[in-house]
Amino acid sequence: MRAGWVRVDCHVHTVASGDAVTTLDQLAGRVAQEKIDVVCITDHNVTSAAMAAAASGRLGGARVIVGEEIRTQAGEVIGLFLTERVPYVLPAAEAVRRIRDQGGLVYLPHPFDRARGSLGSAADQLCAEGMADIVEVFNAKIADQSLNAMAAELAARWGLPGGAGSDAHDPAGVGAAYLEMPDFDGPDSFLASLPHAVITGEYRAHAPRFDGPRG
């Protein structure tokens, strides 16, 4: 990897999600093993684990971005660089407003994988209305690569940068997809660096999602 670049997994879950099994200690071990420099902890509808990891300064040698995968009335969106939790089951526009009010970025995860509460056609509407900052163009839990290709087409159509994440729900999944990109400091420089990012990823059938109740 080039000097001054970092490896970023944009979409990772911990046991705090309610449908994942990875503890923070296990995550620390895996990010060190996978040589991940920055990990976005994006638990479902909670930020407790992400904030705890961020407060410690580093996680297995990696920096932590506090995120949250938020269930909205239209489907799931992720907030990155959060300072507080966003409630779930809000209208999508309200969730976006709350993310941006705290200086965060709006990241659309697996937008066309309808099996996982994704946005579907609402993703295009959010992009059209200027309510998306990043589209996840590679998700390592998607077996049908045409769905990732559709996400890449969405990003290109609206001139938005692409993200990539393992969407890991267990330790073995961490690092299945990541970006190599110029280092950054905060959300603005993250966005500025994203167009230069190189995506590395593979489908990894880790920890099938459990669609039971989530708090």
Domain ranges within the chain, ordered by starting residue: 5-201
pLDDT digits over 138-183, tens only?
Answer: 999 999 999 999 999 999 999 999 999 999 999 999 999 999 999 9
Question: If we measure between CA atoms, which residue out of 83, 82, 84 comes closest to residue 106?
Answer: 82
Q: Say if residue 208's pLDDT is above 80.
A: no
What span, in angstroms and rounded, lies between the C-alpha atoms of 52 and 17?
14
CB of 119 within 8 A of CB of 151?
Answer: no
Percent of the residues in the chain that have a pLDDT greater than 70, as a whole number: 95
- Confidence category of residue 60, pLDDT binned at 50, 70, 90: confident
- Give the rounded distance of the alpha carbon of 145 from its chain centre: 18
Please give the DSSP secondary-structure letter assigned to residue 131.
-
Nearest-angstrom CA–CA distance, 8 and 10: 6
Nearest to 36 by CA among 163, 192, 187, 181: 181
The matching CATH number, chosen from 3.40.50.10190, 3.40.50.1970, 3.40.190.10, 3.20.20.140, for 5-201 is 3.20.20.140
Q: Please tell me the predicted confidence (pLDDT) of residue 206.
A: 67
Give the confidence band of 1 by pLDDT, cuts at 50, 70, 90.
confident
